Copies of this chain bind each other. A is one copy, B any other.
Amino acid sequence: MKMVHPCPRTVGDGDAALYLSYTGDRRPLCWSAEFARALGFEREWLPDLLVFHVIFGKTVADISQNAVANLGYADVRFLAPVYPGTTLRAESEVIGLRETSSGKTGIVYVKTSGIDQNRREVLRFNRWVLVEKSSDAAAGDAVVPELPTQVAPAELAPPPFKLDRFSDVAWATGGARLFEDYQKGDRIVHPTGMTIDDADHTGATRLYQNTARVHFDARAMAESKVGKRLVYGGHVISVAHALSYSGLENVLCMAAWNGGNHVNPTVGGDTLYAYTDVVDAAPIKGRKDIGALRLRLVAVKNVDPNREPVETQSAEGAYDPHVVLDLDYWGIIPRKR
């Protein structure tokens, strides 16, 4: 079952400025035309995650408008820089389906592509959601797709960075640490926290034309278990990613996500903090100037990990109740010369 989602979007400077106002992102590749040009690009990029949210938003009406929960992501690829002025469309394919043990809900697996006006694929991701099952729907045969638990470093195809002039513009990131300065097992606790107001997350989520009612209808949500409008999980990713700039200043872009989970809900009034664990470091085939760091970005709510350490998961794998996001991604970072 394939579908082209409606509502294509030309994403421009204004969207980028709004993204900044919602997140406080600081990566110069997205905010300085000069910096982007010094690295060989036409101009500044749209933030990777803005592109993700716009594409994700288009899929909601067809996939997850009434989903009970977003369960996870796998094999997410950021395939090309996207510049302001690009028109994005989303196409999806249902790649799997299974009933849960209760028989009342099902899990739907979907593969989505973000495509620009020249039919170039700029983003590809898999996600799975928990949905209500119609009472009269037959169970059918379960089809569970094989999704990789990581994107192999050999498959990373980073954008055509030209780093000959990087030393001239390295001041712009404000960070001195490069590929070789991070080690497996490092934890970087990002120094600041961000309180989410309802007008922030609802504004961001409207900008992405995401129509899931759980984010917008406070009256209906007052009757839900959480009792309040839920923050779109992607906004949590964006805020955590923006907080994570301090300590990861030279991670130029996301190349891929190995996986990701929204572990607990976030609502207006929660304060988010973040830390990043360095999971792996890998060279990139054919590139002596950049490498890839496998990073686990964890967002927690209402506890400051700078003051009070958080154990992400227990030995049994149970998440700390403060953890709201567990995102495992590959970031691209310059190497020492």
How many angstroms from the CA of A200 to the CA of B85 in the assembled complex?
26
Q: Which residue of B lies closest to A201 (CB)?
A: B199
Q: Which residue of B lies closest to A210 (CB)?
A: B24
- When distances are taken between beta carbons in the complex, the residues of chain B under 8 Å from A197 are 197-199, 202
Q: Is the CB of A271 within 8 A of B17?
A: no
Known A-B contacts A7-B28, A14-B16; A194 and B209 likewise in contact (beta carbons under 8 Å): no
A34-76: CB near B (< 8 Å → 1, else 0) gives: 1100000000100000000000000001000000000000000
A8-26: CB near B (< 8 Å → 1, else 0) gives: 1110111111101111101
Known A-B contacts A202-B200, A304-B219; A172 and B7 likewise in contact (beta carbons under 8 Å): yes
A197-228: CB near B (< 8 Å → 1, else 0) gives: 11110111011010101001111100000000
Q: Is the CB of B211 within 8 A of A192?
A: yes
How many angstroms from the CA of A33 to the CA of B89 in the assembled complex?
12
Copies in the complex: 3
Q: How far is the CB of A155 from chain B (nearest CB, A)?
A: 31
- When distances are taken between beta carbons in the complex, the residues of chain B under 8 Å from A44 are 10
Q: Is the CB of B6 within 8 A of A32?
A: no
- When distances are taken between beta carbons in the complex, the residues of chain B under 8 Å from A174 are 5-7, 61
Known A-B contacts A10-B44, A192-B213; A32 and B218 likewise in contact (beta carbons under 8 Å): no
Asked if A195 lies at the interface with its beta carbon under 8 angstroms from chain B, I say: yes
- The CB with the most chain B CB atoms within 10 A, among A10, A89, A218, is that of A10
Known A-B contacts A6-B28, A17-B17; A216 and B198 likewise in contact (beta carbons under 8 Å): no
Asked if A87 lies at the interface with its beta carbon under 8 angstroms from chain B, I say: yes
Asked if A193 lies at the interface with its beta carbon under 8 angstroms from chain B, I say: yes
- When distances are taken between beta carbons in the complex, the residues of chain B under 8 Å from A191 are 213
Asked if A117 lies at the interface with its beta carbon under 8 angstroms from chain B, I say: yes
Q: How far is the CB of A11 from chain B (nearest CB, A)?
A: 9
A297-315: CB near B (< 8 Å → 1, else 0) gives: 0000010100000000000
From B31, B229, B269, B304, contact of A9 by CB (8 A): B31
Asked if A264 lies at the interface with its beta carbon under 8 angstroms from chain B, I say: no
Q: Is the CB of A22 within 8 A of B218?
A: no
Known: A192-B213, A218-B269. 13 other contacts (CB 8 A): A6-B28, A6-B172, A8-B34, A12-B14, A13-B13, A18-B18, A21-B203, A31-B209, A34-B117, A61-B174, A195-B218, A197-B199, A199-B200
